[in-house]
């Protein structure tokens, strides 16, 4: 309006004097205020109190400040629950405010505070008619209520109503609530309702019901049995909705994985393999709706689940694995599309191919996929390739050789995560040929100061100790490697490793005195070099203790330093170590133990030298006043012995007697004469146990002193805890050496410390059932073919070899009624194409290849000369002899000789008495089968690759593949001709209708087991070491023989009387190894060590290992009888 208002107010306020303008502006102002409130709360529909609480929590600087904020929030929430007057409105009367109240309680609970005062509101809100608020109530109850809380039982009736509701959303909320709220006691109340929901019209309800039923089975096996769950899964697997099928796959994978973890029988699930293979094939053919595709990859998560299930079911089962070969190969090729989802499927395919029964064609395809991973520019894909390669080399080490340069590139990459995974790969592929290179790389990574992960360094230290003890080429290398590891790793090295090192030096290898002396001289030279370094006091305690013990025992064997010089250096070390530890601190126990070791070495060297230098006397005198009472007493006793009875020093400190056993007289019999004389002279009285003993322990159990009886005494001994039957794991020590085992329980033995052990037995899995899953009556909603598959046929005899089919003839195989994934020899048995000729390489490439050869083939990276593969180590280990390096003859596959033709056996007249004493003719060798099994092991012996280190820490490793069948035995000599029967010639036997009875056969000259004779197993030494680790049954024996005087005589005796093949005779250690087989699958290995006893007799200690325990024990008994 023009001009000022008549009342003198401002023109702005005058706008509200008109009624129409007042209503409009009030609406605008209220909307403006709501906008400001939404801006203040971050755009969320929160109250200001809740928003301030969240903001304060986010801005808190310490846990104490966060606790104070939570306590204030809890006080405000408690006020909202207080009763209000009847004429006032309750703060939580609105469902919206009640919902926010529960959400605030949930926040307080997540921050670690008790908000149980608000649980009742969650129960009330769960019974709300509003689905939105019902969901909030169920969420808070499932997240906050303890399993034993009584409020859970108040929700049972509400969940039952929701499960039977006709509203799909209420029913869905009830099923979700059951999975998080129901306990084992409440399962019977709702299990029947959930089972009825499996037939619900809504696919959402059906897929949630199968998940809920699985949860009930986990809680109560009696209410929902495994059989009921399996029936429900089979129906869900055939559901017309793919989402229900996908939910059932998750449950099947969980059940199969748990069954494989506890080694339970997986036979009930193996008949699902044809259906799973059909589903996987249809997914790969894009028969699912388009919404299941992810970046053009059809249903990747379903494919991953299916592949993992197939891998678990096909492990160590040839028949089941054959049904999935083709679909795995097809999926592997289709998924390699260059995107992350495809990479995940390819990785799972590679992992499954390694786990199931091996097939050469699939392994080659997996190796090609891994090669593409290793050559990728992305470190993430490289990491995937290294992980897959680490899984492959455990069972198939030959596939690592083609990735030499790629592994070195990953090892030198700046990505620390990729380096760690590559180090894990190196550990898994370690063998006696490349152990030096791998150990140096692992130690180099431990020494790297840029690595701050202490846990990783500790793990790598343990792995270096493991491979050094298992694959050491000689004892000198083992001593130097462990000593260097103790220097760089320090306290991460287990004390048992140092103990085993000292035991090896003290006991020697057992070969000869010269070899043991040379071994000790090598150790002394290493430790004297360390002793002369300036920073000796800064070395780790475990290395100082080992060095001090070794110098104290064998310093006199040094060629470069005298005992007096070593004694002077140890005295300086004792002085410097004391000052260093006082300035830098450290563990008291560790310091005491190290000082004891140094002083003990000084005392031993004084006794060996026969004189006490001034520096040694000063050191001993200084420690007589030590705060360590034991050390002070030791020094005082030595001073008294040195001054009063010096002639006793050689007896108290004998030379090279650390490995000898000490005879301890626990009865102190040397005091009997003194005690008898004291009693006889009256200076002492015989000891008598007092009648009235106040010790309360005498009254427990059987009674005690006067007045106590066993019937009235209290028995305070607790009941014994019931024991569960457990399976004792089999320890495995590789190698075939002999000798005494380490006395420390639970520690790995160094090379040369003991005989080889056994590995875990291969899992024996039953064959799948004959009937398959019937999916014929399922509606076609996925595509043209749906998921309809023909039922698995009943087992029949294999048909004769037919013309090879094409790789893509899927429909022909399926229409013939055979399993959908069977493969023909033409598609998976063809030889690979020859590689193209190699191109010329630069000097840098040649240098890198030499370094890779050190990792994969034993070539020194700093030299151009290949090591002689038949070089024998100077020191043959005694505890765990590693398999020697393969020779040139063993590397090339032997040419299979033509099987000998057995002469026809003449007719035997069993009534001729003269034929009873003749040896029975050998049974003819079985004829070769007409058709060739394309998935069986090749006839040639496996490559000369020794067993690799297996991880652990890790799950149950797949059993090794069956060894190659041995060559057929040579045909036995033809039996002598039998004279004609005179009775039959005269026609006196014409009235006899039956054939003559069989005669008694002569006792067999070679070892037989259940009628099957031992046949030679022609293998090389490297293959013997490989088979040694895979044989599970072990039996040992010892016999004193008067007929065998040399190693050659023993080898010939085993060949002639047992039937085994003489693999190698080691004359330097008087050891021999032989190999044989029973039938075509049972392997028998014999390792023996001969020890002369004098008088022409020989003690033979032998160990028999086999894949069957009965064969091992029977062969041991046969050897003990035969070798006498």
DSSP per residue over 106-166, as a string?
Answer: HHHHHTT---GGGHHHHHHHHT-S-HHHHHHHHHHHHHHS-TT-THHHHTHHHHHHHHT-S
Under a CB-based contact definition with an 8 Å cutoff, are residues 461 and 421 in contact? no
Spatial neighbors of 539 by CB under 8 A, at least 6 apart, are: 487, 530, 547
Paired tokens of 1035:
């039996």
Largest CA distance in the chain: 162
- Which residues are 1064's β-sheet partners? 1073
Extract long-range pairs of 381-389: CB within 8 Å, 24+ residues apart: 381/343, 382/410, 382/413, 382/418, 383/417, 383/418, 383/421, 384/343, 384/347, 386/410, 386/418, 386/421, 386/422, 386/424, 386/425, 387/347, 387/421, 388/347, 388/350, 388/351, 389/425
DSSP 495-557: HHHHHHHHHHHHH--SS-HHHHHHHHHHHHHHHHHHHTSTTGGGS-HHHHHHHHHHHHHHGGG
Distance CA 443, CA 137 (A): 57
Under a CB-based contact definition with an 8 Å cutoff, are residues 1113 and 1049 in contact? no
Helix (H) or strand (E) holding 21: helix 19-40
- Which residues are 1086's β-sheet partners? 1074, 1104
Distance CA 1085, CA 755 (A): 13
- Would you state the pLDDT for residue 184? 92
Spatial neighbors of 691 by CB under 8 A, at least 6 apart, are: 705, 706
Paired tokens of 763:
């899992």
Under a CB-based contact definition with an 8 Å cutoff, are residues 540 and 497 in contact? no
Distance CA 859, CA 433 (A): 9
For residues 978-988, one letter each, b for 16 or more C-beta atoms within 10 angstroms of the residue's C-beta and e for the rest, the string is: eeeeeeeeeee
CB count within 10 Å of CB 660 equals 9
Distance CA 193, CA 160 (A): 7
Distance CA 130, CA 136 (A): 10
What pTM value is reported for the model? 0.55
Q: Which tens digits make up the pLDDT trace of 905-922? A: 444 443 343 333 444 444
For residues 212-224, one letter each, b for 16 or more C-beta atoms within 10 angstroms of the residue's C-beta and e for the rest, the string is: bbbbbbeebeebb
Distance CA 1079, CA 1062 (A): 18
- For the chain, residues with pLDDT lower than 70 are 1-45, 84, 86-88, 449-450, 534, 579-587, 691-716, 723-841, 844-1005
Under a CB-based contact definition with an 8 Å cutoff, are residues 910 and 998 in contact? yes
Query: Torsion-angle region of residue 1085: left (phi > 0), alpha (psi -120 to 50) or beta?
Result: beta
What is the radius of gyration, based on Cα positions, of the chain?
A: 41
Q: At what angle do helices 131-144 and 95-110 cross, to 10 degrees?
A: 20
Distance CA 1119, CA 879 (A): 23
Distance CA 351, CA 97 (A): 53
- Would you state the pLDDT for residue 774? 43
- Would you state the pLDDT for residue 834? 52
CB count within 10 Å of CB 1029 equals 23
Q: In terms of residues, how long is the chain?
A: 1124
DSSP 314-371: SBT-HHHHHTTHHHHHHHHHHH-SSSHHHHHHHHHHHHHHHHBS--HHHHHHHHHHHH
- Would you state the pLDDT for residue 455? 86
């Amino acid at each position: 309006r023009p001009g000022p208002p008549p009342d003198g107010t401002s023109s702005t306020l005058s706008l509200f004097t008109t009624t129409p303008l007042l209503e409009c502006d009030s609406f605008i102002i209220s909307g403006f205020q709501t906008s400001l409130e939404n801006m203040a709360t971050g755009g969320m529909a929160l109250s200001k109190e809740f928003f301030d609480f969240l903001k304060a929590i986010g801005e808190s600087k310490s846990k104490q400040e966060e606790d104070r904020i939570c306590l204030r929030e809890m006080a405000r929430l408690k006020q909202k629950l207080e009763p209000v007057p009847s004429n006032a409105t309750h703060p939580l009367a609105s469902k919206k405010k009640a919902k926010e109240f529960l959400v605030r309680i949930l926040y307080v609970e997540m921050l670690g505070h008790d908000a149980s005062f608000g649980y009742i509101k969650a129960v009330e809100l769960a019974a709300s008619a509003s689905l939105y608020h019902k969901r909030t109530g169920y969420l808070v109850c499932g997240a906050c209520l303890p399993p034993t809380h009584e409020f859970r039982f108040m929700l049972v009736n509400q969940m039952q109503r929701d499960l039977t509701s006709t509203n799909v959303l209420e029913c869905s909320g009830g099923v979700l609530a059951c999975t998080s709220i129901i306990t084992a006691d409440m399962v019977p109340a709702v299990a029947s309702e959930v089972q009825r929901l499996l037939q619900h019209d809504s696919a959402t309800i059906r897929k949630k019901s199968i998940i809920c039923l699985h949860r009930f089975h986990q809680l109560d096996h009696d209410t929902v049995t495994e059989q009921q769950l399996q029936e429900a899964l089979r129906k869900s697997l055939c559901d017309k909705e793919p989402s229900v099928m996908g939910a059932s796959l998750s449950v099947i994978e969980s059940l199969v994985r748990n069954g494989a973890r506890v080694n339970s029988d997986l036979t009930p699930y193996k008949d699902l393999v044809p259906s799973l293979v059909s589903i996987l094939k249809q997914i790969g053919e894009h028969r699912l709706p388009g919404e299941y595709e992810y970046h053009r990859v059809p249903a990747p998560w379903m494919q991953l689940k299916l592949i993992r299930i197939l891998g678990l079911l096909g492990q160590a089962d040839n028949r089941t694995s054959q049904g999935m070969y083709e679909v795995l190969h097809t999926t592997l090729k289709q998924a390699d599309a260059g995107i992350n989802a495809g990479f995940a499927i390819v990785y799972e395919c590679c992992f499954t191919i390694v786990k199931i029964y091996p097939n050469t064609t699939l392994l080659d395809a997996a190796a090609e996929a891994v090669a593409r991973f290793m050559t990728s520019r992305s470190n993430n894909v490289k990491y995937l390739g290294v992980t897959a390669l680490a899984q492959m080399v455990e069972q198939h080490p030959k596939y690592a050789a083609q990735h030499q340069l790629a592994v070195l590139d990953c090892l030198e990459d700046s990505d620390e995560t990729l380096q760690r995974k590559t180090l894990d790969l190196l550990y898994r592929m370690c063998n006696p040929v490349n152990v030096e290179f791998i150990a140096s790389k692992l130690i180099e990574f431990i020494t790297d100061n840029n690595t701050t992960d202490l846990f990783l360094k500790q793990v790598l230290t343990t792995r270096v100790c493991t491979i050094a003890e298992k694959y050491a080429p000689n004892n000198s290398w083992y001593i130097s490697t462990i000593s260097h590891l103790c220097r760089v790793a320090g306290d991460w090295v287990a004390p048992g490793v140092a103990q085993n090192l000292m035991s090896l030096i003290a006991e020697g290898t057992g070969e000869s005195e010269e070899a043991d002396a040379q071994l000790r001289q090598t150790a002394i030279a290493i430790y004297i070099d360390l002793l002369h370094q300036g920073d000796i006091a800064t070395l780790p305690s475990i290395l100082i203790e080992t060095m001090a013990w070794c110098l104290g025992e064998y310093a006199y064997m040094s060629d470069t330093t005298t005992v007096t010089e070593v004694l002077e250096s140890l005295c300086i070390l004792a002085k410097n170590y004391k000052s260093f530890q006082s300035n830098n601190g450290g563990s008291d126990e560790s310091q005491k133990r190290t000082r004891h070791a140094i002083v003990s070495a000084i005392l031993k060297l004084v006794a060996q030298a026969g004189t006490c230098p001034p520096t040694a006397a000063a050191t001993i005198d200084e420690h007589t006043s030590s705060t360590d009472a034991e050390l002070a007493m030791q020094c005082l006793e030595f001073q008294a012995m040195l001054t009063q009875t010096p002639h006793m020093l050689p007896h108290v400190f004998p030379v090279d007697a650390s490995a000898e056993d000490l005879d301890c007289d626990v009865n102190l019999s040397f005091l009997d004469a003194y005690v008898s004389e004291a009693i006889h002279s009256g200076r002492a009285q015989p000891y008598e146990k007092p009648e009235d003993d106040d010790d309360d322990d005498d009254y427990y159990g059987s009674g005690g002193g006067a007045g106590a009886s066993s019937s009235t005494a209290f028995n305070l001994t607790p009941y014994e805890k019931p024991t569960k039957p457990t399976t004792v794991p089999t320890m495995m020590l590789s190698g075939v050496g002999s000798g005494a085992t380490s006395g420390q329980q639970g520690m790995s033995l160094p090379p040369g410390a003991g005989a080889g052990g056994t590995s875990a037995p291969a899992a024996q899995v039953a064959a799948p059932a004959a009937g398959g899953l019937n999916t014929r009556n399922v509606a076609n909603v996925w595509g043209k073919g749906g998921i309809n598959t023909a039922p698995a046929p009943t087992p029949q005899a294999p048909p004769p070899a037919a013309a090879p089919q094409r790789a893509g003839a899927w429909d022909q195989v399926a229409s013939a009624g055979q399993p959908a994934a069977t493969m023909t020899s033409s598609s998976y048995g063809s030889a690979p194409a020859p590689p193209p000729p190699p191109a010329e390489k630069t000097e840098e490439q040649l240098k890198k290849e030499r370094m890779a050869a050190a990792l994969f083939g034993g070539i020194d990276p700093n030299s151009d000369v290949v090591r002689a593969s038949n070089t024998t180590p100077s020191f043959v280990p005694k505890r765990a002899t590693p398999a020697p390096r393969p020779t040139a003859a063993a590397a090339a596959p032997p040419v299979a000789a033509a099987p000998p033709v057995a002469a026809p056996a003449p007719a035997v007249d069993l009534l001729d008495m003269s034929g009873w004493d003749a040896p029975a003719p050998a049974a003819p060798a079985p004829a070769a089968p007409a058709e060739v099994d394309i998935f069986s092991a090749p006839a040639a012996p496996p490559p000369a690759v020794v067993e690799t280190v297996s991880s652990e820490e890790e799950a149950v490793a797949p059993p090794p593949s069956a060894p190659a069948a041995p060559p057929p035995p040579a045909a036995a000599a033809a039996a002598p001709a039998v004279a004609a029967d005179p009775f039959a010639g005269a026609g006196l036997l014409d009235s006899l209708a039956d054939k003559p009875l069989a005669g008694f056969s002569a006792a067999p000259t070679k070892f037989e087991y259940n009628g099957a004779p031992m046949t030679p197993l022609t293998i090389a030494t490297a293959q013997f070491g490989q088979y040694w680790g895979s044989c599970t049954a072990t039996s040992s024996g010892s016999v004193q023989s008067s007929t065998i005087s040399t190693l050659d005589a023993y080898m010939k005796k085993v060949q002639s009387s047992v039937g085994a093949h003489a693999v190698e005779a080691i004359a330097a250690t008087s050891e021999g190894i032989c190999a044989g087989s029973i039938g075509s699958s049972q392997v028998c290995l014999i390792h023996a060590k001969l020890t002369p006893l004098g008088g022409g007799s020989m003690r033979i200690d032998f160990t028999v290992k086999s894949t069957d325990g009965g064969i091992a024990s029977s062969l041991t008994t046969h050897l003990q009888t035969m070798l006498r």
